[in-house]
Structure 1
Amino acid sequence: MLARARELFLAQGFGPTTIAQIARAAGVSPESVYKNFGGKPGLVRAIQEQSLLGAGGTPAEQRSDLAQLTATDSLALMERLGRFTTEVGPLEAPIMLLIRDAAASGDAAMADLLREVDDARYRRMLHNAQQMKARGLLRPGLSALEAADVMFTCTTSELYETLVMKRGWSAERYGTFIAKTLRANLL
């Protein structure tokens, strides 16, 4: 269901896509969609959460935590964080832009979801920054709050949209840019 819903939402937009279309494309009843996700906002939330897992068996968030806990080299850690953006950006950015656009069109549920997702992303970046600060992996004098703001900015869908979707950068070039930006601002 999520794969079909993702395809339809990204092809048609949030508003025009119907539960009936999603159910038909997924080969299930509309009732199944409602039962499992509660409607379109629930589907979008599940798609966004799935996007954060990245590729592979272990969720990207867990791999990020492990990288931060085991890193002995700050430069290598920034490279790994850049690779995580290469992996997650192509999956998450289009969905975040869908959420943003639906919220901007006046959909209250999507506006709530946008706030929730941004708040969760900031909390995640603060968690990352606090871990790095505690391990001495940040530039001396740089607070965890300042580092979290840099990481929050580097993980915006709008930055991905600008560089990859509008300017035609590859995901790999984007990830390298993020790694260099993190190094320049955090180390």
Structure 2
Amino acid sequence: MPHNVNASEPPTPRRAYDARRRRELAEESRRTVLARARELFLAHGFGPTTIAQIAQTAGVSPESIYKNFGGKPGLVRAIQEQSLLGAGVPPAEQRSDLAQLTATDPLALIEQLGRFTAEVSPLAAPIILLIRDAAASGDADMADLLREVDDVRYRRMLHNVQRIAARGVLRPGLGAQEAADVMFTCTTAELYESLVMKRGWSAERYGTFIARTLEANLL
């Protein structure tokens, strides 16, 4: 005789698929890959570093790196974009925009911009120098990326200047393009390389120098 099933007993629900946990694990894996790739690129250079080496140190498959980043150029681009976030929360660009909108003292604003430069440069400058050196060696992808990075940085500096100018902070008679050129020069990786990496300045001293240079040329 067949066993009677209690019709009123609800079926055992399937365990809900934890999509959020999967996203967290994927993001954690992504951060690990970028961190290991950064270490290897800066230690050995762009050319000698292989996807296989990065995958091994990150504990992932080479195929997953190609799928998520498209190879070494995509990895370097992702590392560079990550570096622009800075070391604080929210990302440095958001904090910079907020300072430009809310600061009431021009000198205080310039000091803040100097501090943002000191925060971001230790992360971004070494990667830009990596891109520069790879481009100089003849790597076409890195040459394209270097132009892209410079273009994005200039547009960001022009954006900063336009916001500052709209508040009447810039020195009278100073055009937006010239002011953006000053900011563009003050944020070059080569300047960080000269003063911090070669001359041993601290990031804080470097940020103060940038603030003083901006103050002398923009206000």
**What is the TM-score when the length of structure 2 is the normalising length?**
0.85
Which of 50, 53, 58 aligns to 1:26? It is 58
Distance 2:169 2:187 in 1: 19
Aligned match for 2:158, one of 115, 126, 133: 126
SS in 1 for 2:65: helix
Matched residue, 1:166: 198
| 1:186 equivalent in structure 2 | 218
CA RMSD between the two structures: 0.5
Contact 1:51 1:92 in 2 (8 A): yes
| Counterpart for residue 54 of structure 1 | 86
Q: Distance in 2 between the 1:144 and 1:73 partners?
A: 20
Q: Map residues 77-96 of structure 1 onto 2, 5 A cutoff.
A: 77-96=109-128
Counterpart pick for 2:95 among 53, 57, 63:
63
| Alignment of 1:103 onto 2:128 | no
The structural deviation recorded for 1:56 is 1.8
Q: Distance in 1 between matches of 2:88 and 2:204?
A: 17
Report Cα offsets for 1:137-164 as digits up to 9, x if no partner. 1111111111100000000000000000
Shift of 1:57: 2.1
Q: d(CA) in 2 for partners of 1:105 and 1:83?
A: 33
Structure 2 unaligned blocks of 5 or more = 1-32
How many pairs are equivalent? 187
Q: Could you tell me how far apart the structure 2 residues matched to 1:153 and 1:139 are?
A: 18
* Partner residue in 1 for 2:15: none
Rounded to whole Å, the distance in 2 between the matches of 1:85 and 1:152 is 11
Q: Once superposed, which parts of structure 1, at least 4 consecutive aligned residues long, lie more than 6 Å away?
A: none
**Contact between 1:4 and 1:26, CA under 8 Å: does it hold in 2?**
yes
TM-score normalised by the chain length of structure 1:
0.99
Residue 71 of structure 1: how far off its partner (Å): 1.3
Q: Which amino acid aligns with 1:28?
A: V
Larger radius of gyration: 2
Measured in 2, the distance between the counterparts of 1:31 and 1:136 equals: 53
Cα contact 1:133–1:143 (8 A) shared by 2: no
Distance, in Å, in 1 between the alignment partners of 2:169 and 2:215 is 11
Higher relative contact order (CA 8 A, sep 6+): 1
Q: Which amino acid aligns with 1:142?
A: L
Q: Which runs of 5+ in 1 are unaligned?
A: none
Q: Which residue type is aligned with residue 117 of structure 2? A: T
Map Cα deviations across residues 16-68 of structure 1 (whole Å, 9 max, x no partner).
00000000000000001000100000000000000000012211011111100
